[in-house]
Each structure stands twice: as structure tokens, then as C-alpha cells.
């Protein structure tokens, strides 16, 4: 099968898991390059410009958290899906706060992992449509997937962008956390509502006073009307 969906970088130090992920991604039409440590991952991102990273957290040399931190600090917003054997909420929240787009805990279904990669890339590759969205001091251009807080352009992960755009397309409408999980992530039953809270906090931190997002206590979140 041709790799017509682009190259995915798999960073995993367990050869059996790496090969399983590689096979399933290849079946779904992705090219795959595998690295087994953090420094190799950073070099591979530079060389191959992958469309996404499937990044294990527990890596030799440099763990996946540090790899993600270095990418984001270098203004590289390639979608990252963390894979880890740890299911601690602190780890999960830390990964999301660093700018990861999704998070899968071992043992995982290879089909589910591929589906999540596909979902992240579908959001990233689909510019959507419609006019520029405005609320408060925030502007969102759905076609170019660009965001401004005041006059300053803000870099968002693909998940942060889709969450913000979803709220701003429906100004004033209050969404429960489970509704946002279903609409933005696409798998409400597989993720905790804490995921939404972390992404909202990240958006507010990046947008600053321009943020149009407000909390509706006991219910969820809404975007102010423009």
C-alpha cells in the first residue's frame, strides 16, 4: 500500500510494540519511520518533517515529555500523540499542557491508536470553512487555521484550535464537557472530562485577556458573542 497519507514518526523503544504500530499505520496508508530514543526522534523530525508523531513517554536518552517540550519551544507544532505505560492523571495532564494532541495508555488497541492518529490529522488537514470568527479580542481564521489574540498571532495545537473554533462557531451556547469531548475528540467514552479542562486552561493562557471562553459553573464552557 502506498504511503499516500504522509509519514508518521513512531518513537518507541519496545521493538515489538513499534513493529505492531508500524504495521497498522502502514495498512491505513501511512508511511512510517521508527526511532527508539529521544535524540533520534528530534533528528528524525528535522530530517523527515512527519505529519504526526506517535511518541512513547518512557524513552532512553531523553523521554517523550522532553522531546515534546523541545519541539514546542522550537515552535514546531507537528501533532503529537503520546503513548505511555503510566495512567497517572498527573502524567496525562502534563503531556496535554506541553501541547500534545492526544494520549493513549498501554496496553492499547492498535486500531484505536490508528483511528486517533487519523482523527488528529483529519482536523489538521481540513481547513474547514466559513468566515473569520471574532469574539472579544480573539480572531479565528478557519480556512488558514490561524488565531490572533489582539494583533498577536497565537500558535495552537490542532486540538486546541478545534476546541476554540467549535466554541466560537456557536457563541453563547453552553457545552457540557462530555459534549465537547464527543464533538472535538470524537470518543467521549474513552477520555475523562479533565482533558477538556486542561485544554481550556491552555487556551486561556495563550489567548490571555483576549480569551472569549467563559466557564458556566456546574455545566461547562461557552464562548462570548462577538
Domain(s) of CATH 1.10.10.10: residues in the chain: 133-223
pLDDT band for 192, please (50, 70, 90 cuts). low
CATH class assigned to 133-223: mainly alpha
CATH 3.40.50.2300 region(s) of the chain?
7-125
Band (pLDDT 50/70/90 cuts) for residue 187 is low
Average pLDDT over the chain, rounded to an integer: 86
How would you class 151 by CB atoms within 10 Å of its CB: exposed for 0-12, middle for 13-18, buried for 19 or more? exposed
The pTM of the full predicted model, rounded to 2 decimals, is 0.69
Residues listed for the chain: 226
Alpha-carbon distance values, 46 to 7, 9, 27, 209 (Å): 13, 11, 25, 34
The 10 Å Cβ neighbour count of residue 111 is 11
Q: Which CATH class name applies to 7-125?
A: alpha beta
Whether residue 120 contacts residue 102, with contact meaning beta carbons closer than 8 Å, is answered with yes
Q: What is the tens place of the pLDDT at every residue in 108-136?
A: 899 989 988 988 887 766 555 567 899 88
- Measured CA to CA in angstroms, residue 17 lies from 31, 47, 78, 116, 147 at distances of 17, 23, 22, 17, 37
Q: Put the strands of the sheet holding 146-149 in their side by side order.
A: 133-135, 138-141, 146-149, 152-154
Average pLDDT over residues 36-55: 94
The x, y and z cell numbers of residue 28, run together, are 491505513
* Whether 163 contacts 180, CB under 8 Å: yes
Amino acid at each position: 500500500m502506498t504511503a499516500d497519507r504522509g509519514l508518521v514518526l513512531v518513537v518507541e523503544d519496545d521493538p515489538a510494540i513499534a513493529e505492531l504500530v508500524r504495521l497498522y499505520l502502514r495498512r491505513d496508508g501511512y508511511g512510517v519511520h521508527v526511532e527508539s530514543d529521544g535524540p533520534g526522534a528530534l533528528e528524525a523530525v528535522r530530517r523527515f518533517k512527519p505529519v504526526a508523531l506517535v511518541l512513547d513517554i518512557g524513552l532512553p536518552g531523553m523521554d517523550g515529555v522532553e522531546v515534546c517540550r523541545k519541539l514546542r519551544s522550537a515552535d514546531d507544532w507537528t501533532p503529537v500523540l503520546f503513548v505511555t505505560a503510566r495512567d497517572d492523571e498527573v502524567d496525562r495532564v502534563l503531556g496535554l499542557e506541553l501541547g500534545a494532541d492526544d494520549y493513549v495508555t498501554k496496553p492499547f488497541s492498535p486500531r484505536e491508536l490508528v483511528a486517533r492518529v487519523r482523527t488528529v490529522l483529519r482536523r489538521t488537514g481540513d481547513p474547514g470553512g466559513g468566515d473569520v470568527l471574532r469574539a472579544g479580542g480573539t480572531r479565528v481564521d478557519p480556512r488558514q487555521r490561524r488565531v490572533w489574540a489582539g494583533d498577536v498571532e497565537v500558535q495552537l495545537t490542532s486540538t486546541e484550535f478545534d476546541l476554540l473554533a467549535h466554541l466560537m462557531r456557536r457563541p453563547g451556547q453552553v457545552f457540557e464537557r462530555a459534549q465537547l469531548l464527543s464533538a472535538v475528540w470524537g470518543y467521549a467514552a474513552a477520555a475523562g472530562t479533565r482533558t477538556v479542562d486542561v485544554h481550556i486552561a491552555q487556551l486561556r493562557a495563550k489567548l490571555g485577556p483576549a480569551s472569549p471562553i467563559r466557564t458556566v459553573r456546574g455545566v461547562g464552557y461557552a464562548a462570548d458573542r462577538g
